[in-house]
């Protein structure tokens, strides 16, 4: 029976369409829905709306259901997770919904779920940051050509390249922290968006659920649906842009035309017709998944466009976009953590004549240091390149912050650590 049952049956086709993927997706939310119910009924008992003896029976039963959900054994036979939990509690389950709506239940479930998943993602980002920074330090003296417009430009280094992505993760952490904070306001008790005449203690459930604060205005709490998902999707899109660009570099640099890096054989695939092929499929798939992740905010905006305040069933479709993004992102992080430590680099790149022109600016700066005006030195070196006589055999002198001679890796680590410490428990 539906929890909103009024004594008539819908056309089964209507039920199938309106339920959509809720049963499958709600399995992800089940532990958090049960956790929210435990906090809610504890508060109900404290304000006199639920007998203490009922609470004493309900809490162990809910904890058993929560463990089932955590172990992947919880099943949904009813309309959704909310109706399933009520049904599984027997006659006492009829009492747990006082002062709530499915609207604030779902909003709460999503926030609890999101906070747990952001924490997991941040842990993986921290691991990736450490891998990138360690490899940057190990390879800080190994030169590689830097490119602009896909043309050989100036000397770079593998340390500078990998350190750049480590510092990008700092910016991504800023956005993940913003997403974390937006999910830190408890919507429980806002009911359908207009509060309740029941004497609820919303501060108490905020405390029980370990939220920093509550969403004060009930309408605002409901308007958080969609806004919250969009903020999180934007943060994950930023991280996806970083990972996707790194994956593209790895694909490009591992090709025979570049030959900068060599991927472990275990992370490549072959061709059904060409026996020589070792394809960087792992990094190509990371790139594709990250491109999909970057498109999710636009899809969310389209669903939210022109919705007035209050709840609408449109919000249900958000779950289909939103809930899977966490597994997709974490799988990309996991595969990069596997592949990057074993990636080999070519230490002799800059000895190839092809990359001589990367040292043109070095020669210009050498001439400037002897008193030649910069523009004259620029033209002199340019003419040598055009005549085919340019050759550089001097030493590199890069000392300023962020150059190949001064990667500032400790400063980047300090910034990342400072951002990481803003997450509770870090």
What are 322-351's pLDDT values in tens digits? 999 999 999 999 999 999 999 999 999 999
Average pLDDT for residues 23-41, to the nearest whole number? 94
User: Which pLDDT tens digit goes with each residue over 92-136?
Assistant: 999 999 999 999 999 999 999 999 999 999 999 999 999 999 999
Query: What ranges do the domains of the chain cover?
Result: 12-95, 110-140+158-196+216-347, 353-387
Average pLDDT for residues 199-221, to the nearest whole number? 96
Model confidence at 12: pLDDT above 70: no
pLDDT value of position 313: 83
Asked if residues 145 and 128 have their Cβ atoms less than 8 Å apart, the reply is: no
CATH classification number, 12-95, choose in 3.30.750.24, 1.10.275.10, 2.30.30.240, 3.40.50.720: 1.10.275.10
Q: Contacts by 313-316 with C-beta closer than 8 Å and gap 24+?
A: 313/18, 315/106, 315/225, 315/226, 316/20, 316/22
pLDDT value of position 18: 60
End-to-end CA separation in angstroms for the chain? 45
Asked if residues 47 and 199 have their Cβ atoms less than 8 Å apart, the reply is: yes
Model confidence at 1: pLDDT above 60: no
* Average pLDDT of the residues of the chain: 92
pLDDT value of position 14: 62
pLDDT value of position 316: 87
Model confidence at 408: pLDDT above 70: yes
Burial class (CB in 10 A: 0-12, 13-18, 19+), 425: exposed
The fraction of the chain above a pLDDT of 90, given in percent, is 82
Q: Which of 283, 278, 295 is nearest to 234 (CA)?
A: 295
Residue scoring higher pLDDT (315 or 139)? 139
Helix axes 102-138, 409-420, angle to 10 degrees: 160
Give the gyration radius of the chain's Cα atoms: 28
For 110-140+158-196+216-347, give the CATH class: mainly alpha
Asked if residues 185 and 224 have their Cβ atoms less than 8 Å apart, the reply is: yes
Model confidence at 5: pLDDT above 70: no
DSSP 11: P
Asked if residues 192 and 106 have their Cβ atoms less than 8 Å apart, the reply is: no
Please state, as a whole number, how many other Cβ atoms lie within 10 Å of the Cβ of residue 83.
Answer: 20
CA contacts within 13 A on the Cβ side of 212: 9
Write out the two tokens for 7: 């004594």
Asked if residues 239 and 129 have their Cβ atoms less than 8 Å apart, the reply is: no
Measure Cα distances from 15 to 82, 108, 411 in Å: 16, 24, 57
CA 258 from centre of chain: 30
Q: Which of 154, 202, 164 is nearest to 47 (CA)?
A: 202
Q: Which residues are catalytic?
A: 149, 271
Where does the pLDDT of residue 148 fall: very low under 50, low under 70, confident under 90, or very high at 90 and above?
very high
Model confidence at 177: pLDDT above 80: yes
Among 67-71, 311-315, 342-346, 405-409, the range scoring the smallest mean pLDDT is: 311-315
Note the helical H segments in 139-157.
Answer: none
Where does the pLDDT of residue 275 fall: very low under 50, low under 70, confident under 90, or very high at 90 and above?
low
Burial class (CB in 10 A: 0-12, 13-18, 19+), 291: middle
């Amino acid at each position: 029976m539906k929890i909103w049952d009024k004594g008539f049956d819908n056309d089964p086709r209507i039920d199938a369409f309106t339920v959509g993927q809720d049963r499958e997706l709600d399995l992800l939310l089940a532990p958090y829905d049960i956790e929210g119910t435990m906090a809610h009924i504890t508060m109900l008992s404290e304000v006199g709306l639920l007998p203490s003896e009922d609470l004493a029976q309900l809490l162990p039963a809910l904890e058993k259901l929560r463990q089932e959900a955590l172990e992947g054994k919880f099943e949904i036979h009813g309309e959704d997770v909310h109706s399933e939990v009520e049904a599984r509690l027997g006659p006492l389950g009829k009492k747990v919904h006082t002062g709530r709506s499915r609207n604030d239940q779902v909003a709460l479930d999503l926030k609890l779920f999101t906070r747990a998943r952001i924490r997991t993602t941040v842990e993986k980002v921290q691991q990736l940051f450490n891998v990138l920074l360690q490899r940057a330090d190990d390879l800080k003296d190994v030169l590689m050509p830097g490119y602009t417009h896909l043309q050989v430009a100036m000397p770079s280094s593998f340390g500078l390249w990998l350190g750049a992505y480590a510092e990008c993760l700092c910016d991504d952490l800023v956005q993940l922290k913003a997403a974390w904070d937006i999910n830190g306001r408890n919507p429980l008790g806002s009911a359908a968006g207009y509060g309740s005449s029941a004497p609820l203690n919303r501060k108490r459930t905020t405390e029980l659920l370990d939220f920093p604060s509550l969403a004060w205005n009930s309408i605002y709490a409901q308007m958080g649906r969609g806004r919250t998902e969009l903020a999180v999707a934007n943060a994950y899109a930023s991280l996806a842009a970083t990972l996707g660009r790194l994956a593209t570099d790895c694909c490009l640099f591992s090709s025979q035309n570049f030959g900068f890096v060599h991927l472990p054989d275990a992370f490549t695939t072959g061709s059904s017709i060409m026996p020589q092929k070792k394809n960087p499929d792992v990094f190509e798939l990371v790139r594709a998944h990250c491109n999909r992740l970057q498109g999710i905010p636009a899809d969310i905006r389209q669903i939210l466009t022109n919705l007035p305040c209050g709840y609408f069933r449109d919000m249900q479709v958000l779950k289909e976009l939103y809930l899977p993004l966490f597994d997709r992102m974490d799988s990309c992080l996991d595969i990069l953590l596997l592949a990057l430590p074993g990636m080999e680099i070519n230490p002799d790149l800059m000895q190839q004549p092809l990359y001589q022109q990367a040292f043109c600016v070095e020669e210009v700066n050498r001439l400037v240091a002897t008193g030649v005006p910069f523009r004259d030195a620029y033209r002199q070196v340019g003419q040598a390149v055009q005549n085919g006589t340019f050759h550089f055999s001097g030493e590199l002198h890069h000392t300023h912050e962020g150059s190949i001679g001064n990667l500032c890796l400790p400063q980047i680590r300090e910034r990342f650590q400072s951002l990481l410490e803003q997450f509770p428990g870090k």
